[in-house]
Amino acid sequence: ESKGQLLSINGKTEDDILQSLERALTIMKTALERKDLAFVLDGWALEIILKRSLESFTKLAMMSRTAICCRMTPLQKAQLVGILKSSGSLTLAIGDGGNDVRMIQEANVGVGISGREGLQAARAADYSIG
């Protein structure tokens, strides 16, 4: 079984981030097995991309089977779901705390996990699990 490849979208400057986005998009477009590719980005990179290169990011997100998004604000989580939803995808968001409520409500189907973080996510969701 082949090992997947993680495409990292990052950089020290805004231009570095945009270049790494374009590089990831090129790799994704030319890949024979897209299912083995995933991309990763953080909240700062997403902030830059949403301002300056939304179209390229949306293309990458729609081609990708897996995205790893870390250090996102509650608004950014909801924006990501909104981008996918506006592109025609059905979306499912799963969250466990108050910071996930916007994301859960933005999705077509929201699942809240009740537990350590309290009940805010579970109350805001279409479905709740323990």
pTM for the whole thing? Answer: 0.85
Domain that holds residue 60: 1-71
The domain spanning residue 20 has which CATH number?
Answer: 3.30.370
The reported pLDDT for the residue numbered 39 is 95
**Shared-domain flag, residues 99 and 114:** yes
**Shared-domain flag, residues 43 and 86:** no
**Shared-domain flag, residues 64 and 82:** no
What is the mean predicted confidence (pLDDT) over 40-50? 96
**Shared-domain flag, residues 62 and 50:** yes
- Nearest residue to 46 (alpha-carbon basis) of 29, 60, 34, 28: 60
What is the band of 31 on the pLDDT scale with cuts at 50, 70, 90? confident
**Shared-domain flag, residues 111 and 84:** yes
What is the mean predicted confidence (pLDDT) over 103-130? 92
Count: domains in the chain: 2
What are the pLDDT digits (tens) for 58-84? Answer: 999 999 988 999 999 999 999 999 999
What are the pLDDT digits (tens) for 1-13? Answer: 457 889 999 999 9
What is the mean predicted confidence (pLDDT) over 85-96? 94
What is the mean predicted confidence (pLDDT) over 119-124? 92
